Structure 1
Amino acid sequence: MTSTAERTDRGEVVAYPFPVPDLSPAALAAVTAEVAATATEHDRSGAVPLAGLAAAHRAGLLTATVAQRHGGPGLGPLDVARILVALGEGDASVALIVANTLSAHAAQAEHAHWPVALYDDLLRRSLEAATPVNAIRAEPELGAPARGGLPATTARRTADGWVLDGHKAYATGGTGLGYHLVWAVADEPDGDPERPRVGHVVVPADLPGITWVETWDHLGLRASNTHDVVYEGVRLPHDAFVEIPRGPDGVYRDPAASAGPGSFGHPALYVGVARAARAAFVDFARTRVPAALGRPIATTERIQAVAGEIDLQVAQAETLLYGVVRRLEAGDTSVLPELSVVKVAIARSVVSAVQTAVAALGNPALSRHGVLERHLRDVLCVRVHPPQEDTALLAAGRRILAD
């Protein structure tokens, strides 16, 4: 393995020979099929979807947003959306873990903030195998940080670094993670107790003091391993704490409280789920031949009209997703205030597409012998990701009424 290096204000940046993924329709379809092959098994067992993650790794998708200065492809939001649609069509749990990893690499590409040694370790490991990363933020008492409040998790300053203590919830990736980015409050001898610093602590997943609590027994995304995790006396170096800036008014606001240009990875994976549900509906309609009808139900006008409705909803979601991402990549800032409600609209469309398919087919769609019931369970999880519908609509209403 060869590498090159350059110097930055944070130390040495190493470039590794990461593959440039093939994002042609045929290549993405092949990855979708490979990931889908084990999706039902992972959904039933709840185990980390290692086979699906390995397929994504072999295709170069887990490192697609690694910066070019590190030897990565440095792909932007449009290509990320295409990747996550393809993975979501195969297995939504795999896609969610990949989405979080791509987001972490993209954030580092935009603004280098990781400790140099730890990010170099992540890159080296990511060459060899799937090495997921996740920002671990929610807590059992606090709930979703986008709703406001500060974490109870603390990073206590010591003479040789930090000591991390706390209990986190909904830590997607579970024991499959290579690194945690843990949202915490800094406990410092010279800090302001009324206005403590808030940030993410970069934590290698194999450090002593990390314990997983298997709380995830969810309706959807069952293989995402979104369990609780407890940190007890986890020791870290001085540069492991990365402060999150306060707003112009001096108040800390969670960055997930409103959608930003890089926040369309989660909607993209659910567009993939809707596409998978459409394909499952079509397959059933073409092969189902009731005795009383004597021909496939796909030949009836009722099923044809339902298929058209499903296609409308999928097309609407895809058009919104790719349209807004293209506008952002073209530098159109006028769409920025509308990003949160665009995410809501995508969510409504994908849920409607899957629910329409399930309602039309009835019992066969709800049977665990098929895949539609899994797609229904998975697509409902789109509503969980911040900003959630009520907060997005309230903010949009206040904005347009004030304007």
Structure 2
Amino acid sequence: MHEQDYYIRNAKDEKLIQYGKRLSNEIQLTAAKYDESGDFPFEHFELLEKEGYFKLTIPKEYGGDELSLYEILLVQEQLAKGSGSTALAVGWHLMTFFSLSNYRPWKEEVFQRLCQDAVQRGSLLNVFATESSAGNIVRGGKPTTIAKKTAGGFVINGRKSFATLSPIVKHFTVLAYVEEEDKVAEFLIEKDESVSVIHTWNALGMRSTGSHDVEMNQVFVPDDALLSYSEKENRFTGNSSAYTLQIPAIYLGVATAARDFIIDYAENKYSPSLGNVISEAAHVKQKIGEIDIHLSVARSYLYSLAEKWDSPLGLRNNLSNEVAIAKYTVCNNAIKIVKLAMNIAGGNALSKDLPLERYFRDVQCGLYNPPHPDMVINQIAAHAIEDYRKKQVVHQ
């Protein structure tokens, strides 16, 4: 029995699962090498481009596959089993186009051009929003990246952190503060000599995502590079931010890889004291059972939510709490799963000869991808209190 089978609904799902597995098996061959070095895995991305991966979430009208939310989660979960870093890095490109496809805040001709660049030339796209000097913009901070109006456009200066895909992107978007208008806007930046990638990414996990700093020094962009203003409702918050469900799907994939590895390990690891393979030990069976319970809970919540979001019930703008809970639950369960797998392997789990220590380091990163756990908890608590107060008013 493989739990994934329960989530294959039709022939297309089956085809996507096999597609993801095939690519996952290929990138897995060198995943440990890139984890060790921290280098960006250009060869993985050459493979993904060749296999049409960059167009999975691009609308069909512009040459893409336009996968549903449920479908892209299936593929990304599989890819992450081979390399969490590669799945997370390409995931930001896929998430960008997924959110843009469903919200469409930009001029359509700009969106069309970027879609066609991805489909025809393999151009990747990501938004660089985080700044070490400004704190967390998601928490209400104002960008220190400044866009000043000038003749025919804007001049942009600033430095972005955690700029995933920075070694490979030819263009990207940034959030910048427009001084003259006292507004935050999203701008399209083309890489040139005024853009520098500063190699700062040397992290505990997800080591080959290329999430370096990017510095913009007097970057001139034309007027039409201003894509949209960041209003209260925007492409990052619209449709319940469901595009971010790829993040827990990726960590679920890493945890599933740990689960599959440890069962194989336990079935082939002989214990002289037990006189049998360690999978027959009661404490090992206990841990394997707990692993599959955590996995089942996480996968069931994630995919049932995706199916609800994809449905024609008109719920897309009413699922923000569920999206946040999914991220919180799946990422925390992924950590529990890998920890249990490590406990089964014992001291051997710490060896770089086994993939478990890489899985362990990678799943820790899920807590630091947005939304952070405290933000999720506060969001759910605020909703619960507000709901209670509304009911009290009705009953008075």
Cα separation, partners in 2 of 1:259 and 1:363, compared to 1, 3 Å: farther
- SS of structure 2 residue aligned to 1:242: strand
Percent of aligned pairs with the same residue? 25
**More displaced stretch, 283-292 vs 310-319:** 283-292
CA distance in 2, matches of 1:361, 1:257: 43
| 1:143 positional shift | 2.5
Is 1:21–1:60's contact at 8 Å kept on the other side of the alignment? no
Confirm whether residue 120 of structure 1 aligns to residue 101 of structure 2: no
Is 2:55–2:118's contact at 8 Å kept on the other side of the alignment? no
Q: Equivalent residue for 1:6? A: none
CA distance in 1, matches of 2:212, 2:320: 33
Q: Equivalent residue for 1:79? A: 71
| 1:44 positional shift | 0.9
Cα separation, partners in 2 of 1:152 and 1:336, compared to 1, 3 Å: closer
Q: Equivalent residue for 1:289? A: 270
**In the alignment, which of 295, 300, 314 is matched to residue 319 of structure 1?**
300
Q: Equivalent residue for 1:10? A: none
Confirm whether residue 180 of structure 1 aligns to residue 166 of structure 2: no
Q: Equivalent residue for 1:340? A: 324
Q: Equivalent residue for 1:68? A: 60
Alignment: residue pair count: 372
Q: Equivalent residue for 2:352? A: 368
Cα separation, partners in 2 of 1:326 and 1:153, compared to 1, 3 Å: same
User: Greater share of helix residues, 1 or 2?
Assistant: 2
| 1:187 positional shift | 3.0
Confirm whether residue 380 of structure 1 aligns to residue 364 of structure 2: yes
For 1:387, the aligned partner's letter is P
Q: Equivalent residue for 2:224? A: 239
For 1:380, the aligned partner's letter is Q
Q: Equivalent residue for 2:394? A: none
CA distance in 2, matches of 1:151, 1:175: 23
Cα separation, partners in 2 of 1:37 and 1:147, compared to 1, 3 Å: same
Runs of 5+ unmatched residues, structure 2:
1-11, 388-396
**More displaced stretch, 45-54 vs 316-325:** 45-54
Q: TM-score, normalized by length of structure 1?
A: 0.86
- SS of structure 2 residue aligned to 1:231: strand
Q: Equivalent residue for 2:188? A: 202
CA distance in 2, matches of 1:178, 1:304: 50
Confirm whether residue 389 of structure 1 aligns to residue 370 of structure 2: no
Cα separation, partners in 2 of 1:267 and 1:370, compared to 1, 3 Å: same
CA distance in 1, matches of 2:75, 2:227: 29
For 2:161, the aligned partner's letter is A
CA distance in 2, matches of 1:281, 1:297: 11
Q: Equivalent residue for 1:167? A: 159
Q: Equivalent residue for 2:338? A: 354
Is 1:288–1:297's contact at 8 Å kept on the other side of the alignment? yes
- SS of structure 1 residue aligned to 2:383: helix
Is 1:97–1:132's contact at 8 Å kept on the other side of the alignment? no
- SS of structure 2 residue aligned to 1:173: coil
- SS of structure 2 residue aligned to 1:202: strand
CA distance in 2, matches of 1:392, 1:141: 24
Q: Equivalent residue for 2:206? A: 221
Q: Equivalent residue for 2:7? A: none
For 2:40, the aligned partner's letter is V
Cα separation, partners in 2 of 1:66 and 1:378, compared to 1, 3 Å: same
Q: Equivalent residue for 1:309? A: 290
- SS of structure 1 residue aligned to 2:126: strand
- SS of structure 2 residue aligned to 1:362: helix
**In the alignment, which of 75, 100, 105 is matched to residue 108 of structure 1?**
100
- SS of structure 1 residue aligned to 2:218: strand
**In the alignment, which of 264, 272, 276 is matched to residue 253 of structure 2?**
272
CA distance in 1, matches of 2:248, 2:202: 22
Is 1:49–1:93's contact at 8 Å kept on the other side of the alignment? no
Cα separation, partners in 2 of 1:21 and 1:48, compared to 1, 3 Å: farther
Deviations 1:117-145 (A, max 9, x none): 6852662354344x322110111112321
Q: Equivalent residue for 1:329? A: 310
Q: TM-score, normalized by length of structure 2?
A: 0.87
Deviations 1:330-362 (A, max 9, x none): 136254433212321111111111111112222
Q: Equivalent residue for 1:40? A: 32
CA distance in 2, matches of 1:337, 1:246: 20
Cα separation, partners in 2 of 1:259 and 1:280, compared to 1, 3 Å: farther
Is 1:358–1:372's contact at 8 Å kept on the other side of the alignment? yes
| 1:148 positional shift | 1.4
- SS of structure 2 residue aligned to 1:211: strand
Deviations 1:363-401 (A, max 9, x none): 111111110000000011110111111111112112111
CA distance in 2, matches of 1:42, 1:274: 19
CA distance in 2, matches of 1:352, 1:69: 42
Deviations 1:234-270 (A, max 9, x none): 111111112334338xxxx994699522220111111
CA distance in 1, matches of 2:236, 2:118: 28
For 1:127, the aligned partner's letter is Q
1:10-159 equivalences under 5 Å are 23-110=15-102, 111=104, 113=106, 116=109, 120=113, 123-124=116-117, 126-129=119-122, 131-159=123-151
After superposition, the CA RMSD in angstroms is: 2.4
CA distance in 2, matches of 1:52, 1:318: 26
- SS of structure 2 residue aligned to 1:69: helix
